[in-house]
Chains A and B, each alone.
Chain A
Amino acid sequence: MSTNLADPTRLATPPTFQSVSVSRRIKNGLATGLVWGAFLVAVIPLVWVLYTVLERGFPVILDGDWWQKSLSGLLARQEGGGAYHAIYGTLVQGLVCAVISVPIGIMIAIYLVEYGGRSKLAKSTTFMVDILTGVPSIVAALFIYTVWITYAGLGRSAFAVSLALVLLMVPVVVRTTEEMLKIVPDELREASYALGIPKWKTIVKIVIPTALSGILTGIMLALARVMGETAPVLVLAAYAPYINYNLFDGPMASLPLMMVNERNNPTQAGYERLWGAAITLVLIITLFNLLATVISRTLAPKTK
């Protein structure tokens, strides 16, 4: 009889399992340290930025006037007034941009995924979209300046800003919509065809609704992105301290433009407006991101 039966801790053969070796422990520690280090490097500036913006801007936006008044008639050093004109400008420029970009972007994506296949046109479209994704906003702004103002002879305006933003937003919408349409299983398309539903109706009634939550999330994120763009507003719209509802004529403020403008204002009032505009922009963008999350939750296909 083996002695192992009497005393299970005494083994006749060397044990199969051993404790973690020293070299593995060192490597593990090193990797853990690196990951934590990278995390801190990424998070510290983020928290710092948020803290700075909140600390300097928060008191400014607590004033009700901030959301309801413009800076019309106020001197640079005069306290008071608000950012209504700039908030209006940012929202309306973003909205006009979205109204133009979304249909274009979605239709390009539908072509690429549902019709293009591996055709030359589809390949070159994808290539162009990739290039457009990498175009810096200042280049988009100068292009619109050349076409809209130098050649067409039309003045600087909010609409010109929206056009430049369209160049930046379309590729993002195409990309996200494309990805979302691609993950709709082909089985659903086939199920629809097999019911005698034509292809276009399959796309409109089956494929798009299935991908809708993802598409809308992408649009919201793209919109949040372009609303913070500064180069187009700098190049294509003059700043106005008053409210201008006219999209096609005259200077119109926007939050990035207001910040650029107030940065040159050395008074306390300028300082407050700068940080107030900063936090307002951050808040609007956060709001759009939250909206994106809510939309994607409510529209996502459910099982219950």
Chain B
Amino acid sequence: MAKRLDIKDLNLFYGKFHAVENVSLAVPPKNVTAFIGPSGCGKSTVLRSLNRMHEVAPGARVEGKVLLDGEDIYASTVDPVEVRRTIGMVFQRPNPFPTMSIRDNVVAGLRLAGVKDKKKLDEVAERSLRGANLWNEVKDRLDKPGGGLSGGQQQRLCIARAIAVQPDLLLMDEPCSALDPISTLAIEDLITELKKEYTIVIVTHNMQQAARVSDQTAFFNLLGVGQPGQLIEVDDTEKIFSNPGQKATEDYISGRFG
């Protein structure tokens, strides 16, 4: 299931604006990679380019290669819909589908792809909710709307929804930024669990979170306003937080920037 990801010379644009410059990075399978860096440095943009969500924005453009087990997801023959089916994503704010029950939310990806077998859908729903550590909390109200859950539960519901389609890679865009510390802890535990089966890339503003959950950390920075964001360095999380190779990284991590 879990695949490796290689980013090669990635340049991202919004119209004429060069948002991110020359990113090259390797993510080994069954590994958590954290993207850290100040706001506006392009880490979310890079993340969104990894499942071709970047191009959803009007005028957005991509140059370079993103290889999933050696296969370029930006090759002209590749259908972006297929890419997104293979690479799941969890967003900053929990966004369950408001018209659907908890169960339907989890299996939305399969059902809308045409899977009709009710028994199979129920199995997937249970397995995914268990995988997202939510099963025990919702098993008695699977037919209730997903919007009635708490923020933390909704976010775990969204994670369940993302893993229900069994992606090869899971992208998380600040998944805990709208959550309280207890829910955050629940999600972090979950990420550690998911690592056994999935390759995960997570964007976070919380440095402790990066230190707690990730195996390797990539630090992005912005040289100035209007300049493209850059990947400053990427290394084992332990090394980045104890002995970073670049001064900019050290300044950012220790709270001295600029």
Chain B nearest CB from A136 CB (Å) reads 37
B147 interface hit (Cβ, 8 Å): yes
Interface centre among B51, B86, B93, B112 (most CB of A within 10 A): B112
Would you list 9 pairs from A and B whose C-beta atoms are within 8 A, ordered by A residue? Answer: A118-B58, A187-B91, A190-B91, A192-B108, A194-B53, A195-B165, A197-B81, A301-B99, A302-B147
Known pairs A117-B58, A302-B145; A196 contacts B93 (CB<8 A): no
A195–B147 touching, CB < 8 Å: no
Residues of A with C-beta under 8 A to B97: 188, 191-192, 206, 210
A4 interface hit (Cβ, 8 Å): no
A297 interface hit (Cβ, 8 Å): no
Q: Give which listed residue, A191, A212, A302, contacts B91 with CB less than 8 A.
A: A191
B148–A194 touching, CB < 8 Å: no
CA distance A162 to B35 in the complex (A): 60
CA distance A195 to B107 in the complex (A): 10
Q: Give which listed residue, B51, B81, B108, contacts A198 with CB less than 8 A.
A: B81
Chain A nearest CB from B94 CB (Å) reads 9
Q: Give which listed residue, B58, B84, B86, B93, contacts A187 with CB less than 8 A.
A: B93
Known pairs A117-B58, A185-B95; A194 contacts B88 (CB<8 A): yes
Known pairs A193-B84, A195-B161, A210-B98; A303 contacts B89 (CB<8 A): no
Q: Is the interface of A mostly helix, strand, loop or mixed?
A: helix
A155 interface hit (Cβ, 8 Å): no
A304–B82 touching, CB < 8 Å: no
Produce 1/0 per residue, A4-17, CB < 8 A to B.
Answer: 00000000000000
CA distance A194 to B145 in the complex (A): 21
CA distance A201 to B84 in the complex (A): 14
A263 interface hit (Cβ, 8 Å): no
Residues of B with C-beta under 8 A to A188: 95, 97-98
A195–B112 touching, CB < 8 Å: yes
Chain A nearest CB from B91 CB (Å) reads 6
* Chain B residue at minimum C-beta to C-beta distance from A205: B112
Chain B nearest CB from A112 CB (Å) reads 15
B68 interface hit (Cβ, 8 Å): no
Produce 1/0 per residue, A282-304, CB < 8 A to B.
Answer: 00000000000000000001111
Residues of B with C-beta under 8 A to A209: 99
B82–A196 touching, CB < 8 Å: yes
Q: Could you list which residues of chain B lie within 8 angstroms of chain A, going by C-beta atoms?
A: 51, 53, 56, 58, 81-86, 88-89, 91, 93, 95-99, 108-109, 112-113, 144-145, 147-148, 158, 161-162, 165
CA distance A112 to B76 in the complex (A): 28
Residues of B with C-beta under 8 A to A187: 91, 93, 95
Number of interface residues of A (CB under 8 A): 24
Interface centre among A117, A190, A191, A201 (most CB of B within 10 A): A191
Interface centre among B97, B113, B148, B162 (most CB of A within 10 A): B97
Residues of A with C-beta under 8 A to B96: 191
Residues of B with C-beta under 8 A to A304: 144-145, 148
Chain B nearest CB from A47 CB (Å) reads 39
Known pairs A191-B91, A196-B165, A210-B98; A201 contacts B148 (CB<8 A): no
B58–A191 touching, CB < 8 Å: no
Residues of B with C-beta under 8 A to A302: 145, 147-148
Q: How many A-B residue pairs have CB under 8 A?
A: 80
B85–A195 touching, CB < 8 Å: yes
B145–A195 touching, CB < 8 Å: no
B112–A301 touching, CB < 8 Å: no
Interface centre among A193, A195, A206 (most CB of B within 10 A): A195
A201–B112 touching, CB < 8 Å: yes
* Chain A residue at minimum C-beta to C-beta distance from B147: A303
A196–B56 touching, CB < 8 Å: no
CA distance A185 to B147 in the complex (A): 14
A196–B113 touching, CB < 8 Å: yes
* Chain B residue at minimum C-beta to C-beta distance from A199: B81
A191–B158 touching, CB < 8 Å: yes
Chain A nearest CB from B148 CB (Å) reads 4
Which A residues between 200 and 219 are near B, CB-CB below 8 angstroms? 201, 205-206, 209-210, 212
Residues of B with C-beta under 8 A to A205: 112
CA distance A282 to B152 in the complex (A): 49
CA distance A193 to B112 in the complex (A): 11
Q: A194-B51, A195-B108, A210-B98 are in contact. List 12 more A-B contacts (CB 8 A).
A: A191-B96, A191-B97, A194-B53, A194-B162, A195-B161, A196-B85, A197-B109, A206-B99, A210-B97, A301-B98, A304-B145, A304-B148
Q: Give which listed residue, A194, A210, A212, A301, contacts B84 with CB less than 8 A.
A: A194
A303–B165 touching, CB < 8 Å: no
Residues of B with C-beta under 8 A to A210: 97-99
Residues of B with C-beta under 8 A to A192: 97, 108, 112
CA distance A93 to B82 in the complex (A): 47
Q: Give which listed residue, A117, A118, A191, A196, contacts B95 with CB less than 8 A.
A: A191
B147–A301 touching, CB < 8 Å: yes
Residues of A with C-beta under 8 A to B98: 188, 210, 301
CA distance A117 to B60 in the complex (A): 14
Q: Give which listed residue, A195, A198, A201, A301, contacts B162 with CB less than 8 A.
A: A195
